[in-house]
Structure 1
Amino acid sequence: MTALDASASIPPLPLGEPDPALADPHALLRGYLDYYRDTLLRKIDGLAEDELRGSRLPSGWSPLELVRHLTYVERRWLSWGFEAERVPDPWGDRGGDDKWRVPDGVTVAETIAAFRAQCDRSREIVREARLDAHARLGGRFPTEEEAPSLAWILFHLLQEYARHVGQLDVARELADGATGE
């Protein structure tokens, strides 16, 4: 087997995934969160507005509602949760059926811009914070016993993104047949 043959059997890294040589846990967590944030946006890129706002799934959620949901997930866990910032409406606009709604009149561009802005704020919070630091009290967490570590919060966010981006894979495939990273 030639060197060319051996390298041909190694699949390329998904777009934006952290370097496999990276061993620093803080950098890996930040890198994988950014990877999933970017993947979410790539998955919705090119969908028609009716596909972004409509649903092909029995649960009834739309891809745009999922983007809004993850905006609030970031806000709840990092801004309100870890930093104990006062944030307006940390749970988002949910109807009686507990779905994340994109209010009438809010554009796709505005929804994506809000997501990007919240992700930027999350990056600021995480950039210099220690993984073993615990959430500040007074925001989401009233007691030390309830306040998780930053490492726990980041792992929780990763599982949220992994699950929801996987759901978005199915929605996108149903919408236009697109598959892959």
Structure 2
Amino acid sequence: MQQPPEQVPALLDGPTVNVCDVHELLLGYLEWYREALMRKLAGLSDDQLRTPVEPLGWAPLGLVQHLGWVERRWMRWGFAAEDVVAYPPGEDAAEWTVAAGTSTAEVMAAYQAEVTATNSLVGAATLSDRARLGGRFKTPDQAPSLGRILFHLLQEYARHVGQLDVARELIDGETGE
């Protein structure tokens, strides 16, 4: 029996089925995963956001902080060759651990600032544009195209949003789509 139209689930997530331009697809899916990240955090208390989930060993807010650093490394330091701090002091552990004196709002604002910077950089570029030299990439043969970098960001988000599904289920039993 066919469901009424308002109850038929979407066949695809991300950009609409009419989108076929690769640039638009990559940016559309990147935005979809950013929104999925926020959907999966919705409803968690500040304590739940900040408490490491066992046996995973990281807190949901730490994941947000990590993704902000990922965007910074790949887009600002990598693609744009900006002179920015690419890793926090303390490397990987510090990237995933929110300091006790850092508020949730500060972590979210820092993450959003990196998303805004990424959107600004990709708005003025084509997928074939190569990363500038001097930041993450020192020689032309090391410098990937924007398309390659965006694809990398997508796989980072896909993996981590999936991990957040597991964390959320362990925290309060909520499951994702």
- Tell whether 2:47 aligns with 1:50: yes
1:105-151 residue CA offsets vs partner (Å, 9 max, x unmatched): 11011101111111011000011211011100001101111111111
Structure 2 gap segments, 5+ residues each: none
Per the TM alignment, residue 58 of structure 1 is displaced from its structure 2 partner at its CA by: 2.2
Task: Indicate whether 1:140 and 2:108 are aligned.
Answer: no
Distance 1:42 1:127 in 2: 25
Give the CA RMSD over aligned residues. Answer: 2.2
CA separation in 2, counterparts of 1:168 and 1:176? 12
Q: Which residue of 2 aligns with 1:173?
A: 169
TM-score normalised according to structure 1 size: 0.89
- Report the CA distance shift for 1:152/1:96 in structure 2 as closer, same or farther (over 3 A): closer
Shift of 1:85: 0.6
Q: Which of 147, 151, 154 lines up with 1:158 in the alignment?
A: 154
| TM-score of the aligned structures, taking structure 2 as reference length | 0.91
Question: How many residue pairs were aligned?
Answer: 177
How do residues 11-160 of structure 1 correspond to structure 2 at under 5 angstroms? 11-12=9-10, 17-87=14-84, 89-94=85-90, 97=93, 100-160=96-156
Which has a greater percent of helix? 2
Whether the aligned pair in 2 keeps the contact of 1:74 and 1:119 (CA below 8 Å) is yes
Superposition misfits of 4+ residues, deviation over 3 angstroms: 4-10, 93-99
Q: Percent identity?
A: 51
